[in-house]
Amino acid sequence: MARHATLASPSRSSGNFDVPKLARSTLNDEVYESLKEALIQGRIAPGSTMTIRSLAASFGISMMPVREALRRLVAEHVLVMLPNRSVALPVFTAERFHEVTQIRFALEGLAAEEGARHITPEKIAHMIHMTEKMERETDNDATARLGWNTEFHFTLYRASGMSTLVALIEGLWLQIGPLLNLPITELYERTPGYFFEHHHRAIEGLKAGRPADVRKAILGDISAAAQTIAERLSSVTAQQRT
């Protein structure tokens, strides 16, 4: 029987994770939001497993707030509980990835177009700054570029003023965030100019006041990354069937 496809990862153990130390106030919500940010920005690699103890050590806090945050993420189908009481990112099949990508096209296209109608010059300048950092800071690893890419997209989406829509998009990014390390790295290394082409087109559309052009650029950006991920998932599936 064929196994589900998942991307290979050099880090599959439940050791320390790239998350910030937290103060001892409102810890439940802080842990939850910090884990969401780490997932969206791809700082937790595909295939990683996490235990309450290892995450508590990474955050520098007790285990209770971590337990509650993980329960919320499991209930939201962002993480899955394993028999040994550790948690992991769900297996991503090619079929599931295709479904999520189609939903992203619909939701993020709407958010991009509506955001373009309401965004301020200051927010456009911030998006330009994020793209410039991605282009200029070539010594940074993929995690840093993922963070700037996330900020670029959500600055535009939040400008729509549609908080329910943005929350839905965040839920999708929670699922696919760990997979984005792959296209960010490969597209950047193979064709760095093409990697930023869609960002620049979106910015041009924003400056010119053309929301439809912004939507088209963002969908092009999503499509380019999705193609790279889909190719890798298909390759992994083929390898597991041999």
Sequence spans of domains, the chain: 1-91, 94-241
Six-digit token pair at 13?
């153990």
Question: Which of the following CATH numbers is that of domain 1-91: 2.60.40.10, 1.10.10.10, 2.40.30.10, 1.20.1440.80?
Answer: 1.10.10.10
Question: Which pLDDT band holds residue 2 (cuts at 50, 70, 90)?
Answer: very low
Angle at 90 between CA 87 and CA 94, to 5 degrees: 165
Q: Is the dihedral of CA 234, 240, 241, 242 positive or negative?
A: positive
pLDDT at residue 13, rounded to an integer: 46
pLDDT per residue over 199-233, tens digit each? 999 999 999 999 999 999 999 999 988 888 888 77
pLDDT per residue over 104-141, tens digit each? 999 999 999 999 999 999 999 999 999 999 888 766 56
pTM as predicted:
0.79
pLDDT at residue 195, rounded to an integer: 63
Beta-bridge mates of residue 87: 50, 81
Six-digit token pair at 117?
């109608």
- The yes/no answer on whether domain 94-241 falls in CATH 3.40.50.1220 is no
pLDDT per residue over 33-86, tens digit each? 999 988 888 777 776 788 999 999 988 889 999 999 999 999 988 898 888 878
CA dist., res. 212 & res. 202, Å (int): 10
Average pLDDT over residues 21-43: 79
CA dist., res. 75 & res. 71, Å (int): 6
pLDDT at residue 212, rounded to an integer: 98
